[in-house]
Amino acid sequence: MNQHLSLRSGNPALSASTFTGFGSMEQAESMTIQGTVNKTALSLLIVMVSASYTWGMPIVDGRFGGLIALGAIGGLITALVTIFKKQWAMYTVPAYAVLQGLMLGGVSRFFEASYHGIVNQAVFLTFGTLGALLLAYKSGLIKPTENFKLGIFAATGGIAMLYLISFVMSFFGSGIGFIHSNSTFGILFSFGVVIIAALNLVLDFDFIEEGSEIGAPKYMEWYATFGLLVTLIWLYLEILRLLAKLQSRRNREKILEELSGGQKQSTNSHYVNGRWENSYINSHLTPSVSGLLNLAASLSGKEHRENFMIPSQFLGYATNEYWFNIAGPGESTGRHNHKDEAVISGVFYLKVPEGSGDLRFHLGDEGEVTVPAKEGRMVLFPSALDHSVGVNSSGEERISLAFNCYSSELPQYDEQDESYGVHKYFS
């Protein structure tokens, strides 16, 4: 007798009607658990082979962003075709695996460039979670009761709606901040999403077992494989996001700690409105800055499709093209732009008390654009663009890290070269 309570799942590939309408079939023609396992293993292999292509590609390669977009959009289209034409699954699922592999390889490459070792951790945790939940399901430790299924279904739908709203808001220059924030709430949100994504695996196992029991057609093995791939890819991306938030927060706290220890040895520049705006500290005193600089250079290079770098002592330069901006209560940064030789400039917010001033871009006749300052946020902009920072109305310091990005062909400038070094402004 069928012991499964319902066919409800948070996975859109495995809906309540997934296995309805199938009569009893001969064993050779029907879906089996072993057949689904084999096809899942093959599909995961396809994903990994496809991902290795974009993973090994330089981020500045002109094809890099295009292949990620192709994988994401093509994967979505293929997924929709698979959902509405289950009979085609034996053809569409391998195609889906190839396309999603291209997307995952590129996304993983980008995260790895920002946080070394994060991809290996995410892969291990994804497959570890898969194995642990499969064991818990088979042992009966986790039982997908009706209430369990209803809860996971509702939570998954709520997350999807939240992501959709944030996506739509992004077209209007807004969004739901905690989705991407490394704040305590943002990290707790990502942790919750990872749990919901993982529990969807239990529902997937239940549906696969259901299909095998009722003798669903053989092609449903491919369709069930598709459902598992959807959940595993979602789980991997959410784990990657969570690990990135955790590492970003640790890095920010470490940089602040290093800054505090090295501030007495800083050199200042740009005396404006009664204060030195920029503080330069030797790179060996702030080693944790290196990862942020690599990330900024990678992002700039991806945008312009060429190699970029941020000159620093890490790379053998005499001076650094990054600096700390520490604004006390009542202080602000006046309107200015950065050097003509630089192409992209940017800022990363390390400490931002409430009301401590936002970044404003001055667009001439087009007015101004304000970008809210948030801890953990990086903002990149053309170096020639005029900008300023509002008054710090809080009772604490606002601390940020700013930098200039150059072409990697930038020659090794002499320390006394006035066109490059900022030493002429130094205190």
Helix, strand or coil, per DSSP, at residue 422: coil
Q: Indicate the range of 32-36, 47-51, 72-76, 109-113 predicted with least confidence.
A: 109-113
- For residue 142, pLDDT beyond 50: yes
Q: Which of 280, 291, 286 is nearest to 415 (CA)?
A: 280
What pLDDT sits at residue 54? 94
Instruction: Say if residue 17's pLDDT is above 70.
Output: no
The end-to-end CA distance of the chain, in Å, is 84
Q: What is the pTM assigned to this prediction?
A: 0.76
- Tell me if 354 sits within 8 A of 400, measured CB to CB: no
Q: What confidence tens digit (pLDDT) does each residue in 270-282 have?
A: 766 677 778 888 8
Is the CB of residue 325 less than 8 Å from the CB of residue 278? yes
| Domain positions in the chain | 27-251, 266-425
3-state SS of 113-164 is: HHCCCHHHHHHHHHHHHHHHHHHHHHHCCCCCCHHHHHHHHHHHHHHHHHHH
CA pair distance 182, 253, nearest whole angstrom: 11
Of the pLDDT bands very low, low, confident and very high (cuts 50, 70, 90), residue 417 is: very low
Average pLDDT (132-138) is 93
- For residue range 296-314, list pLDDT tens digits in order: 888 787 666 677 888 888 8
pLDDT of residue 265: 78
Hunting for tokens 């990502």 — which residue is that?
Answer: 190
- pLDDT tens across 342-373, in order? 888 999 999 999 999 999 999 887 888 988 88
Distance CA 166, CA 363 (A): 26
- DSSP characters for 297-324? HHHHHHHHTS-EE---GGGT-SS-SEEE
The residues with which 309 forms a beta bridge, in sequence order, are 406
| Angle between helices 118-139 and 184-214 in degrees, nearest 10 | 50
Question: pLDDT (tens digit, 9 = 90+) per residue, 40-98?
Answer: 999 999 999 999 999 998 776 778 888 999 999 999 999 999 999 999 999 999 999 99
The CATH code that applies to domain 266-425 is 2.60.120.620
Over residues 207-235, the mean pLDDT reads 92
Q: Is residue 374 over pLDDT 90?
A: no
